[in-house]
Amino acid sequence: MGKRLLVAVLTVIVAASAFAGCSKQQVNVKIQDKKTTTEIKVDAGKTVSEILGEAEISLGKNDAVTPKKNSVVNKKTIIDIQRAVKAKVIANAKTVEVTLAGAKVKDAIEKAGVALTENDSVNFPLDEKLSDNMEIVVTNKLKVIVDSDGAKTEYFTLKKTVGGFLKEQNIKVKKHDKLTPKRKTPVTNNMTITIEKSNVETEKKTEYIDYQTRYITSSSVPSGTSKVTTQGQKGTKEITYEVVYLNGKEKSRKKISEKITKQPVDKVVTQGAKTQSTVSKSKASGGKTEVSRKKFPDCDGSGHGYYEIKYSDGTTKYEDY
């Protein structure tokens, strides 16, 4: 009885051992393919390539996968598939098509053989993930030299016109400054923009105002004679000018105000009036005498004008001077 019990126990142990030897440990593996996530239970010890085969997931020629295909998975393994995408890199008037998986914009630029400089501009962030049919444009900034009153500064810009560049760089050009070339001029590489700074000053100047000469008659003055009864005095006026200087030289002058500070005093000449007897005698003899002479200057300030001369016979004569 004891012998048969021992044989039965040994048989159970051997059977259990045989069953344990035939059974394999399994692990859960997650497969990430773009936006699709697949979970699969597989035997431990299998490679990435074998698991993809069991999941019926195929890889393209340029697709990438991590871990590598021959890597053995464990229960913590996540298989990440990066599908290859095509992108175009446009630079230096050339277009290069690249195919990459799991890459960024900067990788595509490098793959296209384009060497970026600090002055180049790219239409996407360099660390942005590459997407299918992406067009990456690399633009070379143009070098511009600004010469402002002899001080030269280098800039790099993508702006198309001089005005756009000045606005981009916040370079102020005042109303009277001289800008060369003009704002609408297209920007070219190695262009020099010259700004001649202006200086605007207010200048005051005193000028004289000529006096007028008036003629009057008086019976208190002997006939045929005249005398100055009021001396003429010149007046003064203050004129204010806006003067623009470029490089220390006067460019323009504009009168902005005028104020009379002293009125001129007319010169008065008194002429003698002939007595009645003298007039009658003159009429009897058929002659005429000058009764008054009034001066009228021209308005253009030339110093010329005319006299209005009145005679004893009632006639008037005009005479230029």
pLDDT in tens, 36-74: 898 888 888 889 998 898 888 989 888 999 999 899 888
| Residue 256 Ramachandran class (φ > 0 left, ψ -120 to 50 alpha, else beta) | alpha
pTM summary value: 0.48
DSSP one-letter string for 104-146: BHHHHHHHTT----TTEEESS-TTSBP-TTEEEEEEEPEEEEE
Q: In the predicted model, is pLDDT for residue 269 greater than 50?
A: yes
Q: In this structure, are residues 15 and 39 in contact, taking their beta carbons and an 8 Å threshold?
A: no
Which pairing describes strands 226-230 and 84-91: parallel, antiparallel, or unpaired? unpaired
Q: In the predicted model, is pLDDT for residue 20 greater than 80?
A: no
pLDDT attached to residue 275: 59
pLDDT attached to residue 302: 67
Which DSSP state fits 3? Answer: H
Q: Which of 103-107, 240-244, 302-306 has the lowest mean pLDDT?
A: 302-306
pLDDT attached to residue 313: 79
Residue type, 285: S
Q: In the predicted model, is pLDDT for residue 88 greater than 80?
A: yes
Q: In the predicted model, is pLDDT for residue 18 greater than 80?
A: no
pLDDT attached to residue 225: 86
Would you list the domain boundaries of the chain?
A: 24-82, 85-140, 142-196, 201-320
The reply to whether 201-320 shares the fold of 85-140 is no
CATH C-level class of 24-82: alpha beta
Give me the mean pLDDT over the 256-278 stretch: 83
Confidence band for 291, pLDDT divided at 50, 70 and 90? confident
Confidence band for 298, pLDDT divided at 50, 70 and 90? confident
Q: In this structure, are residues 238 and 255 in contact, taking their beta carbons and an 8 Å threshold?
A: no
Q: In this structure, are residues 113 and 95 in contact, taking their beta carbons and an 8 Å threshold?
A: no
Task: Locate all alpha helices (DSSP H) within the chain, ordered by sequence.
Answer: 2-22, 48-54, 105-111, 162-168, 276-284
Distance CA 37, CA 148 (A): 62
| Half-sphere exposure at residue 229, Cβ-oriented, CA atoms within 13 angstroms | 14
* Cα–Cα separations (whole angstroms), residue 200 to 83, 205, 257: 67, 16, 16
pLDDT attached to residue 279: 43
Distance CA 136, CA 98 (A): 11
The closest alpha carbon to 260, from 230, 237, 287, 283, belongs to 237
CATH of 201-320, one of 2.20.230.10, 3.30.465.10, 3.30.70.1290, 3.90.1170.50: 2.20.230.10
pLDDT attached to residue 2: 44
CATH no. of 85-140? 3.10.20.90
Quickly tell me which residue has 């299998």 as its tokens.
46
